[in-house]
Each structure stands twice: as C-alpha cells, then as structure tokens.
Amino acid sequence: SIPECQQQLPHADNGVEPLPEAMLWLLLTGTVPTVAQTKALNAELQARGAHESVAETKKLLDTLPAKMHPMTQFSMGVLSLQNHSKFAKAYSEGKANKANYWELAFEDSLDCIARSPQVAAMIYKKIVTGKTDVPAIDPKLDWAANFSNQMGFTDAAFHDCMRLYQSIHVDHEGGNVSAHTTTLVGSALSDPYLSFSAGLNGLAGPLHGLANQEVLTYIFEMQRKCKEAGIDMKDKEALKKGLDKFTWDLLNSKRVVPGYGHAVLRKTDPRYTCQREFCLRNFPEDELFILVDTIYSIMPDILTKHGKTKNPFPNVDAHSGVLLQHFGVTQQEFYTVLFGVSRQIGVLSGLVWDRLQGRPIERPKSFTTQYLWEKYQKK
C-alpha cells in the first residue's frame, strides 16, 4: 500500500517521502531496497543520465515551436532518445532473442528513466524562460531532487513534494490508457522508448492526463464564487455553506464535479490522502488547500444524495494541482509531463516483466458489424 511504501521505502536525509528510485527497485524486484541499494541505483541512473543522447535531444527541442504542447515535445523527446536504444540495436543486428529480450528492455528502461527527466526539465525551462538550458546532474541529489533542481527549484520542501508526486503517480493498475498502451505497443517488441512514447500520447488525452487541470479550473471557479459572495475562507462553517450551494448549482446545471469518482476505487484514493497529509504538515493555511479540504469534507455526502456517482470520494487528481500551485509550478499545460515522468517508472518496470515472462503480442478478437447486430439486437 502507499502508506506502507511511505513507511518502508528509503527517503532522502532531508525528507520524509519515499524516493522514486526506491519505488523503481520495488517494482523491478518485488523487494524493499536498503538505503545502500537505493543510493547505488541513484548513482547508476546518474551515470546513465550523462549521455550524448540528452544533448542531441536538446538540439531537437530548440527547433520546436514555442507554442507546441509540452506533451507533444516530451513524446518527441523520448523518441529522440530512442536513437540510442540497445534493444533496437541488438534486434537489428540479430543479437536479440527470447532469452535476452528482458535484459535489453531493462537496459533501455533504466536509460530512459535516467535521461527523460532532463528532457522534461528542458521543456519546462523553455516554457518559463524560452531556453532549454538546465544545470548538470548533481551527484549529491536523488533522482526527483535532480529533476526539481533542473526545473529551477532548489527548495528542499519542493524536492520532497516531487519525491511524493513521482512515487504515487508511477502506475496504479494495468487498465488505464497509458499503462495499457505501453504494454500493447511493447508486445510487438517495440523497444521501451517507442512503447513509452506511445503511452505518453495516450496520457495526453483529455480523459486521462488532463484531469488535474480540470480540477484546478473547478477549484478556481469555487474560489472566485466564494470571494464574490464575501465568504471568509477561514470561516469554516460559512465556507461549507457556500460551497454546498455552489456545488448543487453546478450539479443541477448538468455538470460534474471533477476529481471525484474512480473507475476502480470505491473509497478515498490513498494517493489523495497522502497528498492531503503532506499539505497538513507543510502548508495547512494555504488558501487553495483550505478550499480543497473543505470540499472534501462535504462532497461525499452531496454526491451520495445526488445519486449519480458510484464512488463519491476524491481521486488523486483532486489534490495534485494544489501542491504544484503552492510551490509556483503554475504552468498547467506542463502538469501532464510531470505525470509522464512518474508514470514511466511503473509502465517500464511492467515492460521488463512482460519480456521476462515471454508475453505474446496482443491481438484482440474482432467481430463484424453484422455479428454484433445479431448478438445484441434482442437485448
């Protein structure tokens, strides 16, 4: 569980949240790494990160239009890194076989996880400064802290926030679009870069990776309405009463409350809970957090009374934007890139296991329209 990972996985000396590289070790081996093993894996990733492919990709990013969506740039950046795929090279040279597919997938996955955060940081800097220059990897920092530092954030609290964010977004089940797409494309023996890039394209879809942006739009709308109504955000009862009214107005207008409900879960998303606890520890007086936490206190009852939601509890997207906004990452179009940087840890670990287990190419059955008509017309 997430609480168990927070408790058992190694953390940075100046933080309390689990290190994403420790999560990577857990997903690849099924065991909790020691502090020494986690540090060794971080050193390995840093060594792999210092590679010519990153400089080559920087040149590509410099040629892309400034207004190109960050997810498009990130997907293209991962494809640029693919030029150095060990899996693809071995396969083209006739040196890849069923016995070593997993080793080649493992090599590519570690390389991608080591290098792609630098690409993501370059994209962020391009949004903020117009240039893709980022500092070199700092050997004293862990994986998430280095990523944060390359984005331009040196605050220790933000580093720990990013450790949490990157750990809880890795993967939560195989049926979501980005995870399944990566698995599907990888089943054709496409290398991990090609597979992950395809998964990123699925993650970019509005119904998958844009949810936290839609939640922020809703939260800002509620914040505006509260202020227009003269509600004091620190008056809990007045805030609850106002939000109750505004929520029913929204539901009665045939709109939905973003960030609530989940395709699988039927309780509060544990990823929501750990983000809430982070806020309570670090900035309980933040206005957006107060707003989100108050919504959480009233929303399950409202949605239950409304009767059209199977799961009236919040999911991970109901909270993640608040953390990023607090620390100054206000460029919402970049949020899905952050999601993608994390998601690769889960989907690429799964890809290694797929090749180790010898899973075949996915080939779903297909049916004619006539068959479907005859099968379901009676129903």
| pLDDT, tens only, 7-19 | 899 999 999 999 9
Query: Are 147 and 121 spatial neighbours (Cβ–Cβ below 8 Å)?
Result: yes
The alpha-helical segments, DSSP class H, found in the chain are 2-8, 20-29, 35-49, 52-63, 70-81, 86-92, 101-129, 143-151, 156-168, 177-186, 192-203, 211-228, 236-252, 270-282, 287-306, 317-326, 335-356, 369-376
CA distance 60 to 349: 27
Which helix (DSSP H) or strand (DSSP E) does residue 42 occupy? helix 35-49
Cβ atoms 332, 213 nearer than 8 A: yes
Dist CA 115 CA 28 (whole Å): 18
Assign 3-class secondary structure to 102-113.
Answer: HHHHHHHHHHHH
How far apart (Å, rounded) are the C-alpha atoms in residues 374 and 379?
10
Q: Give whole-number Cα distances, 3 to 30, 163, 187, 231, in Å.
A: 17, 14, 33, 35
Phi-psi region of 328 (alpha: psi -120 to 50; beta: other; left: phi over 0): left
Tokens of 155: 């605050």
Q: How confident is the model at residue 253 (pLDDT cuts 50, 70, 90)?
A: very high
How many Cα atoms sit within 13 Å of 5 on the Cβ side? 23
Rounded to whole angstroms, how far apart are CA atoms 32 and 4? 11
Band the pLDDT of 172: cuts 50, 70, 90. Answer: low
Helix ranges restricted to H, 50-191: 52-63, 70-81, 86-92, 101-129, 143-151, 156-168, 177-186
Catalytic positions, written as ranges: 208, 262, 317
**Cα angle: 157, vertex 161, 163; to 5 degrees:** 115
Contact 73, 122 (CB under 8 A): no
Helix 270-282 to helix 317-326 angle (10° resolution) is 30
Asked whether residue 210 carries a pLDDT value surpassing 70, the answer given is: yes
The pLDDT assigned to 379 comes to 58
Report the share of the chain in percent with pLDDT over 90: 76
Of 27, 80, 64, 71, residue with least CA distance to 194? 80
Residue type, 172: H
How does pLDDT run across 344-377, given as a tens digit for each residue?
999 999 999 999 999 999 998 899 999 988 888 8
| pTM assigned to the model | 0.92
Please report the pLDDT score of residue 195 as a whole number: 98
First to last CA, the chain: 41
52 pLDDT tier (thresholds 50, 70, 90): very high
Separation of alpha carbons 1 and 167, rounded Å:
12
Note the pLDDT tens digit of each residue in 289-345: 999 999 999 998 898 888 777 778 888 888 888 999 999 999 999 999 999 999 999
- Kindly state the DSSP code that residue 360 receives in the 8-state scheme: P
81, 116 Cβ separation under 8 angstroms: yes
Who's near 185: CB < 8 A, 6+ residues apart? 194, 195, 198, 199
Length of the chain: 379
| Rounded (10°) angle between helices 211-228 and 335-356 | 150
Give the mean model confidence (pLDDT) for residues 199-228: 90
Phi-psi region of 110 (alpha: psi -120 to 50; beta: other; left: phi over 0): alpha
Contact of 180 with 350, CB cutoff 8 Å: no
